[in-house]
Structure 1
Amino acid sequence: MQESLDEMAPDLFKVRAVGDDGAGYRAPVVTEIVGITYRQLDYWARTDLVKPSARAATGSGSQRLYDFKDILVLKVVKRLLDAGISLQNVRVAVDHLRAHGTAELAATTLFSDGHTIYECTRDDEVLDLLRGGQGVFGIAVGPTMTDLAGQISQFPPEAAVTADQGADELAARRARRAS
């Protein structure tokens, strides 16, 4: 299965490295890519459904930065919610997705019967699930990653600044004015 992913998006794992180098994307870009409102994104961050990995908000004037994996998980969350899955079940799925690396996620397909979410990583698991009549719809994470890699390449990432480097943008502006 890994070979087919490499054929679909040869630069996928290079693009995903955006989050690995301390860079990320601000909320306006994330909401556009994922197709959600800022209120949804803010609520999901405040309730720890999907927290930004590149940089968390640290006070007035600071902005969250989301890395590639965060945005991928947000896209999956939106698809699950659009399919009618309860937020409680989506939270369980997100916790499970967070435990996997991006390469593992590429080989994952999520299925649901509308109530329960099943993770399949092999073709035989998908077939067993469908034979049992449990899967009603599925979300293939690999193609979602490929789509996201194409979308995200249109937006320049922003460097994340750690708290000890002055992540509070308002404080940094005040310091520049004072000098």
Structure 2
Amino acid sequence: MLFGDALAGIDETTGFRGPIACKAVGITYRQLDYWTRSGLVEPSVRDSSGSGTQRLYSFRDLLFLKVVKRLLDSGVSLQQIRVAVGELHNRGIQDLAGITLMSDGASVYLCTSDDEVIDLVRGGQGVFGIAIGRVWSEVEGTLAQLPVEHIEEHPAIVDELQERRRAKRDAS
């Protein structure tokens, strides 16, 4: 089972709103908004489409957000993080659990086997590592206690001002 018992109902129409994503990842809403607007990690379930709509982030998006936070906390540059996230996007969800990101603080290396990790450490390049499988488990555990949203539950939300204008126009 991909997400374990607690997250078994998660599919491509299920997502997490911004505040829930922030809680699950341990970032501020301001960070989330900046990373989304700059294209670092974009919501794959539903992007905002004007005033009143909510972004919905998938489990995979939250996994990437948590990795970004870890890399930033470790002192890796945003430029290198963008490269690493781009590489992770090219991987299937099944492949992510077996990846370890290694860094020397300047560069990020994507390792898919223990031998690659050992080679980097022996060569003096790997100073710290982030096992995506471990991050996966942390995010999954946190999300098990937080609410999930389905796209069907909230069709496009109409802006309150737009609704008032329409009602006024219909009344005249």
Which TM bucket (shorter chain)? 0.7 to 0.9
Tell me which structure has the larger Cα radius of gyration: 2
- 1:85-104 to 2 correspondence within 5 Å? 85-104=76-95
Judge conservation of contact 2:20–2:147 (CA < 8 Å) in 1: no
| TM-score when normalising by structure 2 | 0.87
In structure 2, the residue corresponding to 1:12 is in which secondary structure?
A: coil
In structure 2, the residue corresponding to 1:111 is in which secondary structure?
A: strand
| TM-score when normalising by structure 1 | 0.84
Q: Which has the higher helix share?
A: 1
User: What is the aligned partner in structure 2 of residue 121 from structure 1?
Assistant: 112
User: What is the aligned partner in structure 2 of residue 144 from structure 1?
Assistant: 135
Name the % identity.
51
- Taking only aligned residues, the RMSD between alpha carbons, in angstroms, comes to 2.5
Q: By how many angstroms is 1:101 displaced? A: 1.4
In structure 1, the residue corresponding to 2:130 is in which secondary structure?
A: strand
Distance 1:103 1:129, change over 3 A: same
Distance 1:11 1:166, change over 3 A: closer
In the alignment, does 2:61 pair up with 1:74?
Answer: no
| Structure 1: gaps spanning 5 or more residues | 1-9
CA deviations 1:38-59 (Å, max 9, x no partner) are 1110011111000001110000
What amino acid maps onto 2:107 in structure 1? T
- 1:1-179 to 2 correspondence within 5 Å? 12=3, 15=7, 18=10, 20-161=11-152, 166-170=155-159, 174=163
Q: By how many angstroms is 1:17 displaced? A: 6.2
CA deviations 1:107-159 (Å, max 9, x no partner) are 00000000000011111111111110100000000011011111101112101
Cα separation, 1, equivalents of 2:68 and 2:144: 21
Judge conservation of contact 2:12–2:58 (CA < 8 Å) in 1: no
Distance 1:17 1:79, change over 3 A: farther
What amino acid maps onto 1:174 in structure 2? E
